[in-house]
Amino acid sequence: MSGQSRWLLTFSTKRVEQIVQRADSFGVRRNSSRFKYMVTTASSINEVLASARMNFLSSTLNCSMDKIHGIVRKMPAILGLSEEKLRIKLEFLSTILNCPMDKICDIVCKTPTVLGLSEDKFRSKIDLLSSILGCRMDKLCSAVYMCSKILALSETKLRSKIEYLVTKF
């Protein structure tokens, strides 16, 4: 971890302990690969701001704090996004997929990386999915909801997986 976060070595041991304890409080196991990202996030954002972002996500997505904790465990960097950026991304997802926020919550819970995608990348994946499956845009919410992990794939892998499934079945 110190190779990625050399600046952490400049902190006092007491400060590092506080940061690690805060990272622990989000439920990310110390031996997991995500722990280093949680430490980075915990060192760059204070507890009040982290709590405010989590409350914002909970109220915007209409989902429980347990689900939000799950999202943060999977993608700690989400706490580093501003409320405005989060609002824009969530509204974009809701609009392009034509989904209510509770479905968006479930999609983000399954695959939080969708919040890290740019609008262009997300739109191109949705267009590709729509063209290959031949489904209308209003049906994509259900398709993405049922297999949201598909959005985490690169476009090349997405195309090859879908074409394989279409030819096999």
pLDDT given for residue 23 in this prediction: 81
pLDDT digits 0-9 by tens, 125-143: 777 777 766 666 556 666 6
25-76 pLDDT, tens digit each: 877 788 888 788 888 888 778 888 888 999 999 999 999 999 998 888 888 8
Domain-embedded: residue 133: yes
134 belongs to a structural domain:
yes
For 64, the token pair is 């429980």
Q: Does 38 map to a domain?
A: no
* Residue 124 counted as domain residue: yes
pLDDT tens per residue across span 81-100: 889 999 998 988 888 777 88
Q: Is residue 18 part of a domain?
A: no
- Domain range for 103: 45-168
Look at residue 82 and tell me if it is in a domain: yes
Report the CATH number at residue 110: 1.25.70.10
Q: What is the 3-state secondary structure (H, E, C) of the chain?
A: CCCCCHHHHHCCHHHHHHHHHHHHHCCCCCCCCCHHHHHHHHHHCCHHHHHHHHHHHHHHHCCCHHHHHHHHHHCHHHHHCCHHHHHHHHHHHHHHHCCCHHHHHHHHHHCHHHHHCCHHHHHHHHHHHHHHHCCCHHHHHHHHHHCHHHHHCCHHHHHHHHHHHHHHC
**Nearest of 32, 37, 33, 30 to residue 5 by alpha carbon:** 37
- Number of structural domains (the chain) is 1
Please indicate, yes or no, if residue 70 is contained in any of the structural domains: yes
Instruction: Name the percent of the chain lying above pLDDT 90.
Output: 12
Q: Is 140 inside any structural domain? A: yes
